[in-house]
């Protein structure tokens, strides 16, 4: 009887533990193991324990260039999605008095997600392209003599696409944090003589911290792990850390791709750890 009872909690966690094991731990363990294998052109993989793949990746200037480019995009996109997401969430939570209107507008924010990623990106082409809407308008109004070429297939268009795709992931957790703020706190601020800016700075911003951290975590992982958006929107001119892996996989160089993946994983984990250090996100999740 007693032994049966002590088994119960283990049985209860078994299904989830199995799911985690099969779909999370095993694949990562495989990647980790393969990253130490030896790769020989035309021969294939040989089981081994070598750091050559890591050395190869880390000494390659292309890796550093791609990582630099990825981190640059991540930071720019993080800043933009935070500013845009924070104010959209602020508007929805504190300026729309009617809950139904607020929920309705919130759903409007999700409209772009009703279609696929590819469609959303391709739809930028007729806007940003050489003969696109913006360039036509600028040409016709005589602002520019030649179409702007940096609008599409550039870092600019990559950032535009990232912000477009990822702002929602910033809005949702910030909205969630803000919705829990007691309105009376803002009235206290008004009572104390705070301006709207002071109230946002002293109350809304610190109390939205966990939401901002969660949103940042989403955006960082999504941008750091992206390969597709950057290649499509830059027209192949820019790459991301994942582009290196993709190239290795094309040559069936699984060990080097795996080593690269492990490095990327460590980098993202470090960033996540940094965010968790700044803000106790767990507090938000268990609340």
**Contact footprint for other proteins (CB under 8 A):** 182, 184-185, 187-194, 198, 202-203, 206-207, 209
Closer residue to other proteins (CB): 189 or 223: 189
Decide: 66 and 267 in contact? Cβ < 8 Å.
no
- The least distance separating other proteins from the CB of residue 216, rounded to whole angstroms, comes to 18
> How many other CB atoms are found less than 10 A from the CB of residue 278?
12
Taking the complex as a whole, the smallest distance from the CB of residue 201 to other proteins amounts, in Å, to 11
Q: How far is CA 121 from CA 78, 150, 265, 273, in A?
A: 19, 16, 26, 31
Kindly tell me which of 79 and 192 has the beta carbon lying closer to other proteins.
192
| Smallest gap from residue 113 Cβ to other proteins (A) | 32
Q: How big is the chain by its Cα radius of gyration, in Å?
A: 24
| Complex with other proteins: residue 204 or 264, whichever CB lies closer | 204
Closest alpha carbon to 231 in 69, 13, 68, 40? 69
The DSSP secondary-structure symbol of 61 reads H
* 235 backbone φψ class: left, alpha, beta (φ>0; ψ -120 to 50): left
Closest distance of CB 61 from other proteins, Å: 45
- Specify the residue, 10 or 197, whose C-beta has the smaller distance to other proteins: 197
In 201-255, DSSP assigns E strands to none
State the minimum distance, in angstroms, from the CB of residue 171 to other proteins.
22
Considering the complex, state which of residue 48 and residue 280 has its C-beta at the smaller distance from other proteins.
280
């Amino acid at each position: 009887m007693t032994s049966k009872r002590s088994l119960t909690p283990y049985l209860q966690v078994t299904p989830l533990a199995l799911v985690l094991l099969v779909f999370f731990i095993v694949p990562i363990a495989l990647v980790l193991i393969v990253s130490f294998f030896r790769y020989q052109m035309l021969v294939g993989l040989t089981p081994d324990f070598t750091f050559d793949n890591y050395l190869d990746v880390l000494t390659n200037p292309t890796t550093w260039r791609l990582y630099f480019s990825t981190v640059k995009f991540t930071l720019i996109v993080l800043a933009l999605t935070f500013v845009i997401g924070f104010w959209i969430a602020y508007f929805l939570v504190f300026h729309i008095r009617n809950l139904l209107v607020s929920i309705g507008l919130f759903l409007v924010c999700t409209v772009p997600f009703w279609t696929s990623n590819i469609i959303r990106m391709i739809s930028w082409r007729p806007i940003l392209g050489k003969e696109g809407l913006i360039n036509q308008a600028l040409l016709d109004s005589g602002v520019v003599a030649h179409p702007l070429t940096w609008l599409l297939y550039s870092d600019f268009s990559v950032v535009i696409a990232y912000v477009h795709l990822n702002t929602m992931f910033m809005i949702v957790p910030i909205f969630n944090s803000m919705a829990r703020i007691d309105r009376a706190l803002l009235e206290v601020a008004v009572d104390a003589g705070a301006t709207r800016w002071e109230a946002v700075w002293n109350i809304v911003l610190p109390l939205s911290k966990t939401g901002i951290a969660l949103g940042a975590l989403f955006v960082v992982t999504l941008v750091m792990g992206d390969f597709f958006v950057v290649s499509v929107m830059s027209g192949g001119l820019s790459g991301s850390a994942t582009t290196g892996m993709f190239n290795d996989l094309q040559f069936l160089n699984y060990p080097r791709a795996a080593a690269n993946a492990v490095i990327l994983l460590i980098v993202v984990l470090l960033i996540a750890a940094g965010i968790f250090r700044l803000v106790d996100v767990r507090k938000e999740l268990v609340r």
